[in-house]
Structure 1
Amino acid sequence: FAKAASQGVADGQVNLALLLENGIGVAANPEEARRLFLAAAEAGQGVAQERLARLFSEGADVATRDPLEAAYWATRAERSGVKGADSLSSKLRGALTAAQISELDRRLPSAASSQP
């Protein structure tokens, strides 16, 4: 996975991030895992998008919780077709203020342009 991740292959980045996040076969490194999840998520990898949503929602392995960022990545994961992301997206969106929802809608790519 490390070779694929270093070459920018999103699936390799996710697989390595999961190992690093959980310390499976390697020393746990949550910050590197988050960096890899972010790179893969930005490339459109749905599992990475869903994982980032959970990290930002739970505040695990990130400096602070960020409900807007969590809702952003959950919505991207939902649009990528990740199973269960629709309920996560709805839950996170429901916790946002009106101003945060406006910001979220502004940041999200249009549904047509976000298809894989």
Structure 2
Amino acid sequence: MLTPREAALRLGISYPTMKQWLYNGKVKAAKTPGGHYRIDESELDAWLHKARGPETPKREMMRTISGRNQLVGRVVDLRVEGLLAQVKISIGGQILTSIITADAARELNLVVGETVAALVKATEVMVLRV
């Protein structure tokens, strides 16, 4: 659970903006017995693709690449074993799992809760009716 100030920092917005979002119900939060707001990290997932904070991946901070399928999310699980690492990223409430090298995970200093971007590069995209 994050304070409004921590949530604002995570999204790269101002604290007053976060407070207005809370007051207007744009962001759901719980209230402590003392009347303070606490925001679940999963509530921020829907807003991460618009994030502009210094600790969030922005196009300007990333390597210049041709891939445009960049999905911003939060690391919810990280398992490093041997040469490989399994990274689970929550993107808008959906979980994307990626297998990368353990060296890459260490190089990126990945930890649970970190905001990251997943670059999807595929030759085919299948559509399934749900």
Q: TM-score, normalised by structure 1?
A: 0.28
Name which structure has the greater RCO, CA cutoff 8 Å, separation 6+: 2
Name the one with the larger strand percent. Answer: 2
